[in-house]
Amino acid sequence: MSEISILTTQNVAIDFTAASIGQRILATILDTLVLIGYSFLIGFFVFQYLGVSDYIRDLDNWSQLAVGILFFFPIIIYSVTLETILEGQSLGKKIVGIRVVKIDGYEAGFADYLIRWFFRCVDVLIASGTIGLVAIIATKRSQRLGDLAAGTAVISLRRNASVKQTILIELEDNYKPTYQQVLKLSDSDVRIIKNVFETASAEFNVARIKQLRTKVESVIGEQPQELSDTRLINTVLRDYNYYTGQA
């Protein structure tokens, strides 16, 4: 899986893991099951149980088409509507743990989701999704054509368990620390800082990262604002590893 680095509007660089092809396919399958369930509900309950089908038979062809579009319109706008409401996630994406984000750091909006939805005709419906699959494999940020047009990417919100979930950080041999005040922190403090920081970064939660910076500065003292929140926290974590010999 490729890495995606996004520079937020607060000049905070956050690295994400692009959603894998498997994750995207699974999310699509789950969304398809939702739509099949809706179609079954409409077909059985409305057209059969309520007897609407008998009424439709008496209508002319254009009226029948209009009624069909009315009942199945939610299927047509499903993805763009859910992604707008759930901030980049459909039900399938939410279950799998992936999300659509803007690669320029701004928050994705309805227009972005609409562009992605429009290109689904090419990416997903034509050639059974082959075009979208090839685009995801070929592009650096694993983007289908709709993502390229909208300036978006699909990221994974799940973090793989690894040594990074501890306080251990590998340092360069010539690393020079900046904040000796980090010795006021305990292993437990640093572990919490690291876990909160990684979680907030994965969720693209800039506000939480800024709150974490405030907490850290209460120990090491306030630092120049031109120093980004991400860089400050990373430096504190690395300095703690340096002084305590954890790396």
pLDDT, tens digit (0-9, with 9 covering 90-100), for 120-159: 989 988 877 899 999 999 998 899 999 999 999 999 887 5
Please state the rounded mean pLDDT for residues 89-118: 91
Burial of 204 (0-12, 13-18, 19+ CB in 10 A): buried
**CA nearest neighbour of 167 among 141, 144, 186:** 186
Q: What is the predicted pLDDT for the residue at 167?
A: 59
For residue 67 the two structure tokens come to 């009624």
Q: What is the predicted pLDDT for the residue at 242?
A: 86
Q: What is the predicted pLDDT for the residue at 94?
A: 93
Q: What is the predicted pLDDT for the residue at 165?
A: 45
Query: Band of the pLDDT at 13, cuts 50, 70, 90?
Result: low
- Residue 15 in contact with residue 155, Cβ under 8 Å? no
Query: Band of the pLDDT at 115, cuts 50, 70, 90?
Result: very high
For residue 11 the two structure tokens come to 């000049």
Q: What is the predicted pLDDT for the residue at 159?
A: 57
Query: Band of the pLDDT at 100, cuts 50, 70, 90?
Result: very high
**CA nearest neighbour of 160 among 5, 17, 14:** 17
Domain boundary assignment for the chain: 3-156, 163-244
Helices vs. strands in the chain: H and E counts, helices first: 11, 4
DSSP code at position 80: H
DSSP code at position 44: I
Q: Does pLDDT of 118 surpass 90? A: yes
Query: Band of the pLDDT at 172, cuts 50, 70, 90?
Result: confident
Q: What is the predicted pLDDT for the residue at 195?
A: 83
Query: Band of the pLDDT at 28, cuts 50, 70, 90?
Result: very high
Nearest-angstrom CA–CA distance, 25 and 122: 16
SS3 13: strand
Nearest-angstrom CA–CA distance, 89 and 105: 17
Paired residues of 15 in beta bridges: 5
* Residue 112 or residue 43, greater confidence: 112
Q: Answer positive or negative: Cα dihedral of 233, 239, 245, 247.
A: positive
Query: Band of the pLDDT at 162, cuts 50, 70, 90?
Result: very low
Q: What is the predicted pLDDT for the residue at 12?
A: 52
Q: Does pLDDT of 85 surpass 90? A: yes
Residues of the chain with pLDDT > 90, as a percent, come to: 35
